[in-house]
Chains A and B, each alone.
Chain A
Amino acid sequence: MSTKQSTKRNAKVSSKKSARKSTKKSTRVSTRKTKAAAAPKSARAPKRTAAKAATKAMPVASASEFMAHAYAMEAEAAERYAEFADSMEMHNNHEVAELFRKLSRIEQRHADQILEQMGWKQSPVSSADYRWEGTEGPETADPTELHYLMQPYHALQIALHNEKRARDFFAHLAKVATNGGVRKGALEMREEEAEHVRLIEEWLKRTPVPGSNWETDQDPPVLSD
């Protein structure tokens, strides 16, 4: 790998990039347990290679399986936002920490609603056994998109990107579903995610756009000229 791009602190946050570099949507899911011996196959490939890696993934077969996946998606997203909030808190970026905490609560509420709706005490499938077409669920934020100096605008861009992915995921699932219950559930979820997209777009309109030097650190971690 060439390292010519290296050293300079070019850690542009995500949010700028994330809209452009949208992760290929995951359209199929599988709860297949990966056998230890087949680990090279089990390693999930992100983005461009995702389609190939998922050739064995099965479309969701029943309404309850669909809801279990929807639950896993929301729970995974909630967990990731909570991790982001902790990380931001640790780096004294309290404003963004609070925003991620709020996003985490919203996702967790959705996850809890699914459990309630299905009358489950907990998800019938352990989260470690989920396999998405990409490396993670279609609503899970990418950790490399964070920056310690990021602003609420960036965090909301990340959230918007994820809500759009989730909406597109359910739209596709509704299109390919062979089971009526799955189609109905997917259409409902698509509408919900579309509503979230609208809400975040509104939220973004009320949020100040960061200046061009938002990532300037007077005491940078890297030696510079």
Chain B
Amino acid sequence: MNSTVAAAPITAQAFKSDYKPIWCPGCGDYSVLSSFTKAFAKLDLRPESVAVVSGIGCSSRIPAYTNCYGFHGVHGRSLAAASGLKLARPDLTVVVASGDGDGYSIGGNHFLHACRRNVDLTYVVMDNHVYGMTKGQPSPTTEPDWDSKLSPGGTGLRTFNPLVIALAAGANFVARAFSGDPNGTADIIADAIRTPGFSFVEILSPCVTFRPEQREWKQLVRPGPVTTTDDAARAARRIMTDDGFNIGVLYKGQRKPYQPPVGKGKKRPSDLEAEFAI
């Protein structure tokens, strides 16, 4: 290691805004924010070359806490907004932040088709198995026996398996991370951004207020015992037989990202404006 340093590299701090997060003390989302900014710094991006798009939920507040371009959109519709943005501005790095409610309940249909479409986006879902923002309703990833005032006796419903669904629907990069490992998560996010096409990163991010028992996740997660595969069926088998706590990049495919047709057919904004004129 040398004691002299050349040009100063961009720091993670350079991607943080002046707004202080209002998440509950101890919420996993603080560390996810730190992983976002570390990943951007790692890739030597600039705030003006990144857009962070989200829906609604505690997790979806992330865009405000970065000083990149941001869009805090409509519940469950972050992928629609992000896809439009990426197609209109392919030069931007578009990262989408969502939660298990935003992404798998109200936004579930968009999730499937975004995987299918394979636009070059990175979709990060902070999964805490609950609707945090609206005070603790069960989400699609909530365990069927989670007994609470709002779901007495539990929902009894089978949980949604987002990684298998992403694989089946055609996502080109599928990974699971843990908020308690901010540097490892930053590596995974950076890898997801670098990989062309639709990259899906599920981050286990505890909700310490409505699911305090999730503090124990840090005892349960471990690096997945297998290496990344490009065989989606193999990846699906692995993920269907794990206990939900294996961390790492599960799958990286070779699908070509969706590119909008360019050239003669391309319309200018004024053409579109004319179409919508009354």
Contacts and interface: CB of A to CB of B under 8 A. Distances in A.
A217 to B, nearest CB: 11
Interface in B1-32: 1-3, 5, 8-9, 11-12, 20-28, 30-31
A143 B24 contact: no
A185 interface: no
Contacts of B223: 40-41, 43-45, 49, 53
B149 A7 contact: yes
Contact of B12 (A4, A42, A127): A127
A126 B41 contact: yes
Contacts of A7: 146-149
Would you call the interface of chain A mostly helix, strand, loop, or mixed?
Answer: loop
B38 A39 contact: no
Contacts of A144: 26, 28, 180, 206, 208, 215, 218
Nearest to B175: A39
Interface stretch (B75-83, B100-108, B241-249, B259-267): B241-249
Interface string A55-86: 00000001011001000000000000001101
Contacts of B27: 143
B270 interface: no
Interface residues on B, range: 35 or more
Interface string B147-161: 111100010000000
Interface stretch (B87-95, B116-124, B181-189): B181-189
A59 B150 CA distance: 51
Interface stretch (B45-53, B66-74, B163-171, B224-232): B224-232
A40 B208 contact: no
B12 A148 contact: no
Given A11-B212, A39-B248, A46 B26 contact: no
B1 A86 contact: no
B150 A68 contact: no
Given A6-B213, A42-B187, A43-B184, A128 B38 contact: yes
A10 interface: yes
Given A36-B194, A122-B5, A222-B136, A44 B175 contact: no
Interface residues on A, range: 35 or more
B190 A36 contact: yes
B21 to A, nearest CB: 7
Interface in A25-47: 31, 34, 36-47
A68 B4 CA distance: 12
Interface stretch (A129-137, A164-172, A202-210): A129-137
A2 interface: yes
Contacts of A91: 24-25
Contact of A130 (B11, B24, B183): B183
Contact of A9 (B145, B212, B227): B212
A88 interface: yes
A3 B228 contact: no
B249 A40 contact: yes
Interface centre among B26, B27, B150, B220 (most CB of A within 10 A): B26
Interface of B: 1-3, 5, 8-9, 11-12, 20-28, 30-31, 34, 38-39, 41-42, 135-136, 143, 145-150, 154, 175, 177-178, 180-188, 190-191, 194-195, 206, 208-213, 215, 218-224, 226-228, 243-244, 247-250, 252
Given A3-B145, A88-B25, A148-B25, 8 more contacts: A5-B213, A11-B212, A42-B188, A44-B184, A45-B247, A90-B22, A131-B183, A222-B135
Smallest CB-CB A-B distances: 8 pairs:
A40-B248, A39-B249, A146-B25, A146-B26, A135-B181, A36-B191, A11-B212, A43-B184
27 contacts: A1-B220, A2-B145, A5-B213, A10-B212, A11-B212, A36-B190, A36-B195, A37-B252, A38-B227, A38-B228, A39-B249, A40-B250, A42-B248, A43-B224, A44-B181, A46-B180, A62-B1, A90-B20, A90-B22, A119-B3, A127-B38, A135-B218, A150-B25, A221-B24, A222-B149, A223-B136, A223-B150
